[in-house]
Structure 1
Amino acid sequence: MQTAQRPARSTLPAWKKALFAASVLIGFFLLLEGALALWGVSSADESSDPFAGFAGRSRLFVPVDDDREGCLLQTSPRKLQWFNPQTFACEKPAGTKRIFCLGGSTTYGRPYRDPTSFAGWLREFLTVADPETNWEVINAGGVSYASYRIARIANEITNYEPDVVIVYTGHNEFLERRTYESLMQTPEPVREVGGWLSELRTFTVLKSVLAPSASPQDSPSDDPADDDVKTILESTVGLEAYERDDRLRDGVVKDFRANLAHIVDVARNGGAQVLVVTPACQLRDCRPFKSEHRADLTADQQDEFEAAYEGAEASLETGDVEAALSQIQTALEIDDRYALAHYLHGRVLWQLERPQEAKEAFIRARDEDVCPLRAISPIVDAVEDVAFKRDVPLVDFVRLTASLSEQGVPGANLFLDHVHPTIEGHRDLALALLVRMKEMELYRPGPDWNEEIIARVTDRVKSTIDPAEHAQALVNLSKVLSWAGKYEEADRLALRAGEMLSTDADALYQAGSALYRQGNIAGAMEQYRKAVEADPQSARAQFGLGLTLAESGRHEEAVEHYRIAAARLPGQLEIRFNLGNSLMELRKPGAASRQYEAATLIQPDFAPAYNSLGIALAQLGDLRGAARNFRKAVELDPSNEDARSNLKRALNELGE
């Protein structure tokens, strides 16, 4: 019997199946994007840049329509974390000269903002020096930006009719390489696709689900001003990421040279004249960020080095400078690659009034820094070399800062930290740029342009400075330097900010911390007390005041302030532990034991809390509980002789 045959199925070609599947997928995402738009979901592109400027789609300036002025270009909202807000016309008006200033945080104006950057000063000076021209000076300096990303900005600004491009870069080359190494190694096409995807609302939703934002409770800080500092620290890697790597160093310098040459060529091809600036830095008052011994140093040699180095420090402190010189030279004979030793050598030579030798030692300290956040000599040489080979006018800021400094060695007189000039330093650079621009016939100063007019402009700019804003900037910079372990520099800024903001709790707290680190307990107590008066809710100020009161033997008062701090920040180990210590001094072991128990819950591996808890329990007559905690302290820290002795005593009393 024959079975009926089913009609043969018609099969689609594979390419049609793929096309159909792609159409369905695209349609789904279009519908999803539309739905998310209706629900008010914005794209990540509008508020952040997940590729940190490494994707070509990531423009610095975006067009906006203005009812009165027409099409304008303004700093993209997603870039405002790193750049100053700037606005200029899409089409350059007649009679206008447009200057772009490219670079990193110095160009930005850190720790302040655009108005007191060299770009801001240049804008103010040019408007008065050559009033016949409509001057646009656009600050395109990005915090932590180095030549790789600056080259991308140079590519972009050629579309905006630049007349002049000023380039100040060189300090961030190693920072950018260490921080964004994985992004830099990602193939360009992958970054471009990623940049496109980041503009989708779907990306925003997925990002919020997979990487939710931290809640306010995640942060132990009680100070909203810390947000700006947190942004700075989170955008960079820590000191532990830096290790000596001479091959990497040579590669970074080579790449920098190529990037700078590219920036010059692109700007010139875009019709602009170019100026480059040598990156200057502080030498005399800036310790290296990180030092490492040379790789082949033996243990015995390291012991000899440390003995000589510590001896030099001690001799310098007691005023025996000649002995310090002999000792630090001995240390350098053992290991001439330890950056901090060269810095100490420079300090000794400076005390001996041998400034030129001191300067050489300070430069060597900078160049041996394992975390080179100041442009090293090969970087400065590369700037000069590119300028020479491409016949680019050069403004030698390195030489200028030396000429304005005592004995030719730049220090805190011109720099707020390791690389950022003072407001006056930015002004001096702007004036040097004016001189070079006049030589290039980029402007014609009017007959009234003279030193008196320059002084008037200077006074006018300084009169617009908000002292509170600038003092807060110094406070934030002080916090960053403290994070980096540069307490000497941090303390100098904190004390200066405290003088400027005599009623600001945050500034007063930082000033108190600076004095405390310097051993000035009475001075620190005064600053902390003022901070508490300015803001009684500041847990940090309350804790600082409690700490200085305790160290002055005033434990009853200390407990009062510790308790306020603990109520504000119940999860802070230091507050709980020190509160317990003061309660013990007041012979209140029961109350103290509760604070020590809280400390062990906050940080279960903190041996001193267990030892102190054991002492409190012993005073309460709970010897078994005391022994248990002493034993835990010894397990966590076998070198804790106090805990060992306490455990032995408790066991003896228990007869065990």
Structure 2
Amino acid sequence: MKKGWMYGILFFFLWIGMFFLLEGILRVMGIGYSTEPFERVAGTPYFRDNPDFLNKYYPGRRTPRSEAKFKNLFLAQKPTNGLRIFVLGGSTAQGWPFEPNQSFTKMIEIQLQFLLPEKHIEVINLGYSAMSSYYVADVTRKLARYQPDIIVLYTGQNEYYGTLSVTTGGGDLSKQIYLFLREWRIFQILFALFEKSQKPSKTMMAAQFSGRQLPMGEKDAEVADAFRRNLTRVFSWAKKHHVEVIVYKMAANLIHMPPFASEGEREVAPLILSNTHFFRHETWQTVSTAQLLSNWRTTYPNNAHILYLDGLARRARKEEFLDILKQAKDRDTIPFRYREILQDVLSNAGAHWHVSFIPLHQKIKEVYGSEGFGRKLFIDHLHFNYTGQRLLANLGVEAVLSLKDFKTKAPSSNALPLKEVSHLPGLAHEDWIDAGLWLTVYDEFMAIQNILTLLSQSPYKDMLIPYTKDPAWGEIGMLTRKPFSEILASFSSKKNQSFGNYLLSRLTDNKEWETIEVLLQAYRHNNPGIPTGYKNCAEFYTSRNRYEEAIQFYAMAYLLAEKKERLEIEKKGQSLARMLGKPDQWRETIDFLAKNPWPCYNSSNSATVMHKKGGNREFIGEIFEGILAFCQGK
């Protein structure tokens, strides 16, 4: 009997040993993927995004590394004067539909660097589309090695249709086991055998929805409980590791966003469609419209469409209407907007763990009134337009400065509204560019294309009361700006060329060099972790005989490139150095950038470029003086 136990134990440990041996072999051979959010860039002082880690959360929807975004590039070793902030959540935290480095998280970084010049500020964006609080809790556990000081959360919008949510099946324990197993290469291979490949042309919203409706009350308690558990995991981890937590309370478009669907829609649809004359500009506020809606509400008290129309009618009559529109949002049977029960969970959990809140709904009402819950701040059902991004940034800065470590050190954030650049040549958007953000009209164009793609797919395309895009998209902005509108009109999607490449070729033909420089710098700014943007800038500066700048950009491209690409870049850099009569400059530049962050070498040039483009010289100078002080160890 004793021998049997011994053999059983030996057999067990033998299998355990074989498991770890096989796991080790897979890792050495590069089979499977790392689930760390960042990867160290060899030979540099940086971490950058690890795009493979998203495979854990987007099963069946893999993006090749060559097509992946590398939005973050930050120091592997946090400096002693560093302030490192991680922003976690779904697409709102990501900054969608804008590029992350042109959204509120980068605005927070720029403003804090100005207000805290003695600090080296890093705001690192870990928001990704369709991520629920399971993602937030799972990634938080991995952050200790990256030395966070503050975690900022904007989460709660994807609890019903996120990549791990009530619609994906299983309870909390099964989801935790699933996330644990996906850490292992062996199980990654096994899971891949059963995962269906998703079409990349399908938006995450359409992919996660898949026709599933969730009437109010059906799954709310289950969703709320999972949300509470995940928030508790984040808050307890932060307390254990002495990390501050700031949480945005959620807000959504209530005025210009009709419900996606509703209970009783089949019965109500004919009523609404046959009475549209009651819901016109000249009839919204009439007694007859009010009486009609009152009768409908008596018959269909829980119909989201009727509640929504009643809210708009009250708005037209100058009555209180937000509470009715909140009810319509909660009664929407396709809850891509949060339900109020989740707001309650967030408030209670945060209060218990003493986290810092940003009461976003309340702040919007204070600043913009009830009209703030529409197109003034929102671009679709819950994502923020550029004005909304600026509001999120200012509130985020205020929240950081209100923490005990900064209360006596920093000036009031009210002293620094986010500085606007008044003029940029060519395609740069004069009203939307902020110092350091490199937001151009082309970027605005791409953001709106993202939204139009969203609106063309489910559940948007199937709405009873259709969502109408902002009329301003066709009246202001890029669609009427020359030369952009002329170039756009001449572009044909049948050409085997992206619009970005076509745009650059047209600008080159027209010799619009300043505009080309802005666009190339914007691309580099949005993708700081890959060599492409730096290489493009280097080639441009070479063509303009600006060899000193070209060497700097080639050197940064060299450090970020893979081994095969490095040889080509090195030849170009060395050739330029010899052309300048400084053959050692290439190696000296490489050695410097391998030990120091990019802004240390490029700060004076960046400040000059921004000043040339109409930036606030004093503002930009302050930022880069602070970075130079860090580089020099002051």
TM-score, normalised with respect to structure 1? 0.61
Question: 5 Å matches for 1:57-68?
Answer: 58-62=35-39, 64-68=40-44
Aligned mate of 1:467, from 441, 445, 460? 441
1:35-54 alignment, distance < 5 Å: 43-45=31-33
Aligned-residue identity in percent: 19
Q: 1:182 to 1:470 in 2, by over 3 A?
A: farther
- Tell me, which stretches of 5 or more residues in structure 1 are unaligned? 1-12, 47-57, 220-226, 295-301, 509-526, 540-656
Residue 168 of structure 2 is aligned to residue 180 of structure 1? yes
Question: Which of 239, 243, 248 is matched with 1:268 structurally?
Answer: 239
Name the counterpart of 2:54. Answer: 79
Whether 2:209 is the aligned partner of 1:237: answer: yes
Q: Give the match for residue 453 of structure 2.
A: 479
- Alpha-carbon shift at residue 441 of structure 1 (Å): 3.4
Greater alpha carbon shift after TM alignment, 95-104 vs 84-93: 84-93
Partner of 2:155: 169
Q: Look up the SS of the partner of 1:138 in the other structure.
A: strand
Larger Rg: 1
Whether the 8 Å CA contact 1:114–1:120 is kept in 2: the answer is: yes
In structure 2, which of residues 325, 344, 356 is the aligned counterpart of residue 362 of structure 1? 325
Paired residue for 1:400?
A: 363
How far off its partner does 1:436 sit? 2.8
8 Å CA contact 1:532, 1:538 repeated in 2: no
- Code of the residue aligned with 1:537 in structure 2: it is K
Give the Cα–Cα distance (whole angstroms) in 1 for the partners of residues 311 and 262 of structure 2.
15
Deviations 1:523-573 (A, max 9, x none): xxxx9xx9785217389xxxxxxxxxxxxxxxxxxxxxxxxxxxxxxxxxx
Q: Distance in 1 between matches of 2:322 and 2:433?
A: 33
Where does residue 127 of structure 2 map in the other structure? 141
Instruction: Determine helix, strand or coil for the equivalent of 2:456.
Output: helix
More displaced 10-residue stretch of structure 1: 486-495 or 313-322 = 486-495
Once the 2 structures are TM-superposed, how far is the Cα of residue 438 of structure 1 from its aligned partner?
2.4
Q: Distance in 1 between matches of 2:495 and 2:357?
A: 49
1:110 to 71, 90, 96: 96
What is the rounded CA distance, in whole Å, between the counterparts of 1:18 and 1:376 in structure 2? 52
Q: Is the Cα contact below 8 Å between 2:398 and 2:413 reproduced in 1?
A: no
In structure 2, runs of 5+ residues without a counterpart are 1-5, 56-62, 422-431, 497-634
Kept after mapping to 1: 8 A contact 2:130/2:204: no
Give the match for residue 255 of structure 1: 226
Checking the alignment, whether the CA contact within 8 Å between 2:93 and 2:154 is kept in structure 1 is yes
1:124 maps to amino acid: I
SS for the counterpart of 2:160 is helix
Work out which of the residue numbers 419, 422, 445 in structure 2 matches 1:455: 419
Asked whether the equivalents of residues 133 and 156 of structure 2 are also in contact (C-alpha less than 8 Å), the reply is yes
Secondary structure in 1 matching 2:33: helix
Normalized per residue, which structure has more helix? Answer: 1
Q: Secondary structure at the match of 2:202?
A: helix
Per-residue CA distance 1:28-83 (angstroms, 9 max, x = gap): 9799969x95xxxx63426xxxxxxxxxxx33233x243242x7364443439698
> Could you say if the C-alpha distance between residues 494 and 290 of structure 1 is closer, same or farther in structure 2, counting changes exceeding 3 Å?
farther
1:500 corresponding residue in structure 2: 478
Amino acid at match of 2:169: E
Tell me if structure 2 keeps the 8 A contact 1:287–1:486.
no
The one-letter amino acid paired with 2:184 is W
Letter in 2 for 1:77: D
Q: Distance in 2 between matches of 1:30 and 1:433?
A: 42
The aligned residue for residue 494 of structure 2 is 537
In the superposition, relative to structure 1, how do residues 445 and 161 fare at CA in structure 2: closer, same or farther (>3 Å)? same
Aligned position for 1:429:
392
Amino acid at match of 2:217: D
Match status 1:344 vs 2:322: no
Secondary structure at 1:236's aligned position in 2?
Answer: helix
Distance 2:181 2:89 in 1: 27
The whole-number CA distance in structure 2 between the counterparts of 1:166 and 1:30 is: 34
Q: SS state of the match for residue 452, structure 2?
A: helix
Match of 1:523 in 2: none
CA shift, 1:344, in A, is: 0.8
CA shift digits 1:571-601 (9 cap, x unpaired): xxxxxxxxxxxxxxxxxxxxxxxxxxxxxxx
Residue deviations 1:189-226, cap 9 Å, x none? 455345413587x769x85xx87979xxxx9xxxxxxx
CA gap of 1:364–1:77, structure 2 versus 1, over 3 A, is same
Q: CA separation in 2, counterparts of 1:486 and 1:404?
A: 30
Q: Distance in 1 between matches of 2:138 and 2:21?
A: 34
Does the aligned pair in 2 maintain the 1:43–1:199 contact within 8 Å?
A: no
User: Match of 1:181, as an amino acid?
Assistant: G
Output the CA distance in 2 between the equivalents of 1:425 and 1:318.
27
| Matched letter for residue 360 of structure 2 | F
Per the normalisation by structure 2, the TM-score is 0.63
Deviation (angstroms), 1:462: 7.4
- Which stretch shows the higher mean deviation, 123-132 or 188-197? 188-197
**Aligned residue in 2 for 1:101:** 87
| Contact 1:161-1:270 within 8 A present in 2 as well | no
Indicate if the aligned counterparts of 1:123 and 1:135 stay in contact, CA closer than 8 A.
yes
CA contact (8 A) 1:289 1:486 kept: yes
Change (3 A) 1:197 1:329: same
Q: 1:538 to 1:241 in 2, by over 3 A?
A: farther
SS of residue matched to 1:45: coil
Judging changes above 3 Å, is the alpha-carbon distance between structure 1 residues 267 and 449 closer, same or farther for their aligned structure 2 residues?
Answer: closer
User: Which of 419, 438, 446 is the equivalent residue of 2:401?
Assistant: 438
Q: Does the 8 A contact of 2:401 with 2:410 survive in 1?
A: no
Quote the Cα distance in structure 1 between the aligned partners of 2:17 and 2:234: 44
Determine the C-alpha separation between the residues in 2 that align with 1:406 and 1:465.
28
Cα contact 2:261–2:304 (8 A) shared by 1: yes
CA distance in 1, matches of 2:129, 2:380: 15
Do structure 1's residue 322 and structure 2's residue 287 form an aligned pair? Answer: yes
- Specify the SS of the correspondent of 1:345: helix
Give CA-to-partner distance per residue, 1:310-357, whole Å, 9 cap, x none.
Answer: 465332237333211111111111111111111111111122222x1x
Equivalent residue pairs, number: 460
Distance 1:462 1:344 in 2: 42
Quote the RMSD (CA, aligned, Å).
4.2
Would the alpha carbon gap of residues 330 and 85 (structure 1) be closer, same or farther in structure 2, given more than 3 Å must change? same
Q: Deviations over 1:243-290 (max 9, x none)?
A: 326141122112212322321221121111122111111111001111
Equivalent residue letter for 2:439 = I
Q: Per-residue deviation at 1:16?
A: 12
SS of residue in 1 equivalent to 2:157 = coil
CA distance in 1, matches of 2:124, 2:303: 41
Please state how far the C-alpha of 1:237 moved relative to its aligned partner.
2.6
Q: Does 1:280 align with 2:251?
A: yes
How far does residue 18 in structure 1 lie from its aligned partner after superposition?
7.0
